[in-house]
Structure 1
C-alpha cells in the first residue's frame, strides 16, 4: 500500500516539476533554497537527500540554467553556499503556489489532522526503515520476555531530539509495591507517541558518510534518497554482466542497455552520474554518442568510460582526446573498472561546472554551441561577419611523450590562459579536442581574428609554458579561420576552419591561414572505393566542396589498379565490395612502399565490431560507421591528413 501511494503522489509531484523542465531532486533543491535562503552545499545535500557527487551535478545543472549560483563562505574559503539567483527566485515565486495547490489536491481525501499524522508517521517510518540491519543486532526476544524500548534509544543515538521519559512512550504501569508484583514491560509506541516525537526525528542532524569510508558502530549510515545511477551501454551480454557485477554496490542503481537509442531514453529519465559506453553499438558509433553527450548542457559533465575490443592505440588516443574519462579493452577487468568508477564517483575526478572543460577550464562543446547559437545563429538581422578559428598545438604529442600527460595538460591550461590574456572579453574560447581550441570572434572579420592570433603566437614564443620546476617548454600553434553566418551550422563552420587549419599545418608550424586567403597549393586527391552509388555520391560531393579532388572506383579491384598507377593522398574504402573486398584492398595497399604512410579510412556497417578490429590489424588508419554525417567525414579526413603532416620528418 505504501509503495502504491508513494507512486501516485510522486507521479503527481513529478508531473508538476517536469512542466518547468525540472527533476524531482532539482525541484527539491530549489524549494529548500527558496524556503530557507542560502545554504551550504552539504546542508542542501541533507535536505534533498542525494549523494555528494549527485549534489554536485544537481547544482551544476541548476547553475547552468541560471537558477542557482555558488558563493564562497565569508568564514571558510573551502565552503561554498548555494544561492538562488534572481531568475531562480522569480521561478519559485511563480511555481511554489502551484505546487502547494498540487500537493493539496493530492491529499484532499484526508482531513487536516490525518494529514499531520500521516506526515509524522511517514517521517518516522523513513528514518526507521533506513537504518541498515546489523549482523550483530540483538536477537529478538521470545514472546514471553519483555521487549526492550529500543526505538527511542535509537532515535536518541541518531540525533539529539528531546529526551523521552518512559511515561511518554508507554502508559505507566499501575502503582504497586515492587515486592508484591513484577512491573509490566514497556510496550511499543503507538500512533500518538510516534506523532509526538516524529517532528524531532525529522529535524535531527544527519551525518552523511561517503561510500568507501568506515562507518562507526555507534553511528549507522543513513541511506535515504535517490541512488547513484550508472548507465552501462554495450550490446555484448558478457560485457554488460561483468560491468554490472563490478559496479554494483550499496546506494547504486545499475542500468544496462544494448543500444544508443535505449541509452538516450535512460539519460532522459534518470539522473545518471557515470556512463560506461561501448565504442561500437548496433545503432551508433560510440564516438558519435559521446560527442552528442558532450554538446548537451544536461549531459556534458557526466564522465564516460569507453570500452572496446582491441582496435588499436589510435582509437584510444582519439577517444581520450575527445574527453572520455577512461578507456578499457575487452574483455574488461572488473576490479579495474570498479576502481576507475569509484575514483570518478567519489572524488578521484571532481566534477566541475557543466559548462567547463575539466582540464583547461575553457568552455566545453556544449557551452560553445550555446555561444554560437547566441552570437551567430540568432543574429539573422545583423550582417556583421563573425570569424571562427580552430587552433591546434603543433607538438603536444611530443610534450606528452617527453614530459608526461600531466605536463601536457599543464601546457594546455597555460595555453588557455595565454589566449584569455590576448583575446577580447567578447571573444569565446572553448576546448574542441585533445590539443585543439576553437575561438569565436563575434562581429569580427577574419582579418581581425588573424591579427589577434598572430599576437598570441608572438607572446607564446616570448613566454612559453613552463613545467612546475620552471623549465620552459617551447611550443607553437597553428590556426585556421573561417567566417560563420546564421545560415552556417556550427559543425559546418568548424569543418571549414578545419580545412584552413590543414592548409596551415601543411606549410609548417606556427601559421595562421584563412579560407579567404588565395591558395596556390595543389589539392589533395582522394581515392574512394565504394560500390554503393548513393554513398559514393555523398562522399564525393562533400569532399569536392571542400577543395579535394576525388577518384571513385566501384570495386576493390579497380581501386587497387588506380592506386598502383597514382599515389593518392588519402584512401576511403568500403569493406563489403564485389571482387576484392576492403580488407584485401587495405592489405595490398600497405604492401606498396608508396602507401606505407598514406591514411586509409574504412567504411563499415553499424555494430560490426569484428570488422573494425580486423581493419585496424591490417593497417587501417581510422573507420566510420554507416550512416555517417558528411561533416564528420570531412573532419576525419582533415584530421588524418594533419596527422600525416605532423608525423612526416622535417
Structure 2
C-alpha cells in the first residue's frame, strides 16, 4: 500500500495536482475548454479544503472561480505550488504544530476543530507557564496568543517570544478585547503578525491562521530541488556552499557568490511574452545558458521566483565581475522562449566575495545585500550599500476626510503619500511604484476586491503590502480580502498610533526594495534643479522620444506620457485634474528626482500642447510663485 493510499485526502490532492499540471500549457494558450476544466478542479479543491480542515486550500482555489481568463494561469500556478506542498511526504511525516495560548476564552478547542488535520496539530496551553513548557519541549510553526492569561500579561509573553531565538521568526496571532488603538499599536510594535478581537468570527480566524501558517511553512521548507524549473533549490545550494566552505578551511581559495534577477527586456514578437506558467521554463533556459558560459564546477540554483543564485569557485570578486559580464553578453546575443524563441533577457547581478572564516548564512546575506543594492540603483550589477528604498504609499479611499487624515498623519512620519481618486489612477500610480497600498473595501462604482486581485497580478514579483479598510468588519469581506492577497484589514476610523504601527510593521517585514522593475533598458534617472528639468524635457521633444517621465519633488509627484516628443498624458498628486494644469505644475518643479522610461503609451492619447508652450507656462508659474502669487 502506498503513502497516498494510506491518506485518502492526500490521494485526492495528488489526482487534482496531476489534472492541473496537464492544463498548464493549454491555459497559457487561452484554451476555453482548459479554462473551464481548471475552474472545475478549483471548485472541487475549494469544497475539499473547507470540508477537510484546510482553509488555506479553499482560499487559494476560490479566486480561480471568478478571475478573468487572463489571470487564471497565474492563479493556477499558485494553486499548483500549494498542492505540491500538500503531497510532499514531509508534510505528512512531521505535522506542523500550532500552539494556542488561551486564558478563559475556550477558543483552543474551537480552533482545534477547524484546523486539526493529518498534517497539522493544534496544541492548547491555558497559561503562560504551560506555553513556555511546551515551547521548550516541542517546535511550533505558529502561535495564537490570548493577551488575557491567568499568570502573566500576554504582552509580556509576546515580548519573550520575540526575544527567544527559537520563536523570533514564528508568526504570532494576537487575540484581545477591542481595547482602543493603543493596545493594537503596542502589539504590532512588539512583533505581532495579526490582531483579532475575541469576538472575531472563528471561521474567519481559522482562514487567517491557516493562510499565515501555510506562507510561513512554504518559506521554511526544504528546497533542495525546484520542481517547476528543475533547477537546484535553496537548500541544495546552501549545502553545496557549506561543503565548499568546509573544504576551504584546509585549502584557502577565493569564493564569490552572485545573486541574479532575470530581466525580460522585450520580444521580437509580442505573442512570445511569457505567461506565469511559462516563466519556469524560461528561467530553466536562461539558467542553462548561464551554466554554459560558466565552468562546470560553478553551481547555479533557483533562489526565488525569477532569481538565481550562483556559486563561483576559486574566483575573486574581480574575476566574478568579468565572468558575469561574459554571461550577460552571451544572454543579450540570444533569444529565449520554448518553441517560439524571441524574448530578449538580461540579468541584474549582485556580487559578494566570501570572506575567510565567514559561514554560509552570512555569505548569502552579503550576496542578498549586493542584489538589493543593484535593484536600488537600477543598475544591472552593483555593490553599493543598500539604501532606504521607496517610502511611497498609495491611498485609494472615496471619503476625502479619511484620505486627508491618512495623508496628514503618514506625511508627518516621513512617508510620501499618493492619493488616487479612481481605480484607473490607482493602477497608474501603482505601476509607478508603491511601498504599500491602502485600499477601501467598498468603493462606489468599483469592485474593490477585483482591483485588489488586479494589483496583486500587476505587482508580479514585487512584494507590496496591501491594507484594506472599511467602516464595518463583514466576515465575508474580510475572508475574501485575505483570500485575494490582502495583508491586513482595518476598521475606519483607524487611530493614528495604530495606523502608523501597522504601516511600519508591514514595511519592516517587507524589507526588500518595493519597486524591482522588470526591465530598465534605456531608462534614464537622476536629480534635477534649476533649469535642468526644462533642458531634459526639451531634449525629449527634440529627439521625438516616446515613454513615461516620472517626476518627484518635495510637495508634488506625478508622471508625464510622451509620444514622438509630445506630451499626451499627465497625472500627479495635485488636486487639479486638468491635464494642461497638471503638466504645468509638474514642469514647474525646481528640484527633485526624475526617471524616463522608454516604451509605448496609449495610442488614443492626444497631445496636450507643444513642449515649448508647456515649458513657457511652467516658467510663468515659477515666476508667479517667486513673486508670492498663486499659480493658475
On whether the aligned pair clears a TM of 0.5, the verdict is no
TM-score category by the smaller chain?
Answer: 0.3 to 0.5
**Which of the pair has more CA radius of gyration?**
1
Q: TM-score, normalised by structure 2?
A: 0.37
